[in-house]
Amino acid sequence: MTHVALKDVTFAYAERPVLRHLTFALERGEFVGIVGPNGSGKSTLIDLIDGLQKPSRGEVLVNDRPTGAYRRLEMAREVALVPQHFDLDFDLSVREVVEMGAYCRGKDPAQCGDAGLTLSRLGIAELAPRPFTELSGGERQLVVLAQALMQQAPLLLLDEPASALDVSHQLHLFDLLRELNRDGITVLCILHDLNLALHYFAKLLVLSEGEVAAFGPPDDVLRPEILEAVYGVRAYMHRHAGRTYLTFSPRLRGERRGCVHLVCGGGTGAGLMRELADAGYEVSAGVLNALDTDEETGRELGLQMAVEAPFSPVGDEAHADNLELMRAADLVIVTAVPVSHGNARNIDAAREVLAAGTPVWAHEGLLKNDFAGVTAGLADAGVEFFAGDAELLTAVREREARPQGRSATPV
Amino acid sequence: MTSRARRNGRLGIALAVAIFAACLLLSLALGPVSLSPAKLVGYLTAGPGSGGPGGIIFWDIRLPRVLLAFIVGASLAVAGVILQDLFLNPLTDPYVTGVSSGAALGATFGIVLHLAPLPWMTLLALAGGFATLATVWVVARRRGRIDIYVLLLAGVTISYFVTAIISVMMIRAHEDMDAIIYWLLGSFNGRSWPEVEVALFALPFMVVPLFFAREMNILLQGEKRALELGVDVERAKRVLLFTAAALTAIAVSVSGVIGFVGLVVPHIVRLLVGPGHQRVLPIALLGGAAMMGIADLLSRTMLAPSEVPVGVVTTFVGAPLFVYLLRRRRSGS
């Protein structure tokens, strides 16, 4: 059964349109998150559903009835809203503040619910006698949620309820929302943390500049290309410990800076991969074994890589791929990767491009982890050594500012 | 309400009733001619027209004057509570809506035209007060809503405008200037039963906000939150604003513009029992009455046989008390 429906809703403050041609519906009992950049119209959307604003065009229906047809008291029994900002400069006790939520249930205590029980459900029973004005930001957020729960409405709208909460209270809050949802309450919650959105919500609505950019299960909706279009950042999806999570990098401005190839493995290159990619370099890597930590990171970052089967020595095909990537690079960096007979050919490849004129830099740790005896003499061959990743990154940045070596293209 | 707050509330109301009764007794007993409690009871039981000169003093002068002071004080305090909470502004008093200035203008017309105080001056004052309210109301009304901030600004602006008109009238009619100034300062001198009859119309308006105590509590969180929680905010604002304006207009029409009670009594009460309106409204009502009664008592006894304007007394008493309570609260918390 449809609980909330928006039909071609447009809303504008004065002349500035905030929401444009919004059409979507929530079924009874759904658990939906709203995400979107600042100013995308999220708060306005929940104000419209609560009937606090009237659409300029189109219709907002709650229980198949236009929101404008509700009196405020009726609406408060149907829709509870947890606002983002909440001001109260008067010395009311927490219990008094929470009890105000039962206003729409009349004066009969049997109908009003118990403020103490509601507070203990949120794990803040001990706050009841305290003055509201003395609470911390996070405590206030929970108290306002308790106030909204006292309305006993079947639809709960929340505007960034977790923004002032520490991580433990955040998780507690979203667990509680899920529990309320299991009890049959429809939940529509604005939040900014996309990873929480990914984990907790059955469905996400992505708003962008007042329009629905995507609406559906989180895995379909929080795809990197959608996030890039909506937020203007690069998004990467990672899988770890059985979960999917997102990380973000700022979007690149202007041209790519140049191409760096990494010889790495076993997690020695993951950090450089991310740093260099974020700084705007085109990064390639190889040869890496599939399922190696660096290989996984490179895959999540969408890098070009020469890859060999898991636990196998570098074969001819992978070696050839690797050489091709190295030749295309402006700089080759060898990390402190342990070198054995399995990956010794990567060092050979580095020597080959060095001879052909591509600068090769290396982490000093490489020499200590050489179990194949192939790194001796690299310094004599012209490989520059650096004390660590930080020094390497600094050098890459300086190199860009002051081109050196034989490479004509700035790296 | 927590049980402690409820206990404080009950205690507060009991205390307020006791203070109210004590002030009533003092106001009735003391004056140029002091009357003992036994005599007071005697006059009361004997009814008007008996008991010789003491009875005449009691029934024709003392009792109506004291009743009037109590009703005016209660009206201003209740109006102050309503307006401070609607505007969410601690500096608000019953006079910001411009109603008092309008009433003063009406009364000034009455004085300049040498009309009888009753009914004409009082009627003109009431008419002036309500005409100002109507003007401010129309200015603040937009798309069926009353913009409370526009109303506040319009009220203040109209107050200045009307005060300017009164100043011009005072200069033009300088032989009446003393009468106008004396009226503006506010006094209960010479008021008797006809004024009390007018003031009695304030009583139903004092009861109205008690029915809106929950809505007023919720409105402390702002209008938007009140809407979210299901309050018919516009209706509550309409009723409460009209109530406050009516209380102010009635009070001013019978006594002039007496300052400080409407500003300071609500604050004192909130400092003592917290902001919950179930407690604040009745205690402010009793407290406002008691404070005005005592102020009037001082005004007629301090420099007897001459009178100090009661508005001066309320300020002299109220200001230090208020400052003391503010200081005490800050060091306490």
3-state helix, strand, coil in chain B (%, to 5): 80, 0, 20
CA torsion sign for A336, A337, A343, A349 is negative
Instruction: Flag whether pLDDT at B7 surpasses 70.
Output: no
B101-108: average pLDDT = 91
pTM for this structure?
0.82
Please tell me the number of Cα atoms within 13 Å of A4 on its side-chain side. 29
- Measure in Å the smallest separation between the Cα of A65 and chain B Cα atoms: 17
CB contact under 8 A, A91 and B214: no
User: Domain spanning A2-246: which superfamily?
Assistant: P-loop containing nucleotide triphosphate hydrolases (3.40.50.300)
Work out whether strand A79-82 and strand A65-66 pair parallel, antiparallel, or are unpaired: unpaired
pLDDT at B190: 82
pLDDT band at B50 (very low <50, low <70, confident <90, very high): confident
Q: In whole angstroms, how far apart are CA A61 and each of A32, A70, A260, A317, B167?
A: 17, 10, 55, 62, 57
Who among B5, B215, B228 is closest to A83 (CB)? B228
Residue A303, C-beta contacts closer than 8 angstroms, at least 6 positions apart: A273, A277, A283, A284, A285
Which CATH architecture does the domain made up of A259-401 adopt? 3-Layer(aba) Sandwich (3.40)
Q: Where do the domains of chain A lie? A: 2-246, 259-401
pLDDT at A403: 52
pLDDT at A404: 47
Q: Is B236 on the interface with A (CB under 8 A)?
A: no
Work out whether strand A331-334 and strand A360-363 pair parallel, antiparallel, or are unpaired: parallel
Give me the domains of chain B, ranges plus CATH numbers.
3-332 (1.10.3470.10)
Q: Which residue of A has its CA nearest to B84?
A: A90
CB contact under 8 A, B232 and A81: no
Query: Nearest Cα to A191, choosing from A153, A154, A218?
Result: A218
Q: Which residue of B has its CA nearest to A47?
A: B228
pLDDT at B89: 78
Residue B34, C-beta contacts closer than 8 angstroms, at least 6 positions apart: none
pLDDT tens sequence across A382-402: 999 999 999 999 998 888 765
CB-CB neighbors (< 8 A) of A128 in chain B = 2
CB contact under 8 A, A96 and B270: no
CB contact under 8 A, B230 and A100: no
pLDDT along chain A (411 residues), means of 10: 92 86 94 93 94 93 94 95 86 91 86 87 90 89 93 95 87 92 95 91 93 92 89 85 84 73 93 88 91 91 92 93 93 93 92 92 91 87 92 87 50 46
Interface ipTM: 0.81
pLDDT tens sequence across A284-298: 998 999 999 999 999
pLDDT tens sequence across B125-145: 999 999 999 999 999 998 888
Residue B319 phi, psi (nearest 5): -60, -50
pLDDT band at B5 (very low <50, low <70, confident <90, very high): low
CA torsion sign for A239, A242, A244, A249 is negative
Please say whether the beta carbons of A52 and A191 come within 8 A. Answer: no
CB-CB neighbors (< 8 A) of A96 in chain B = 1-2, 5, 217, 276
pLDDT at B57: 86
CB-CB neighbors (< 8 A) of A101 in chain B = 229
Burial (Cβ within 10 Å: 0-12, 13-18, ≥19) of residue A122: buried
pLDDT tens sequence across B257-268: 888 889 889 988
pLDDT at A44: 93
B23-28: average pLDDT = 92
Amino acid at B181: I
Report the distance separating Cα A272 and Cα A263, nearest Å.
11
pLDDT at B6: 56
A259-401 and A2-246 share a CATH fold: yes
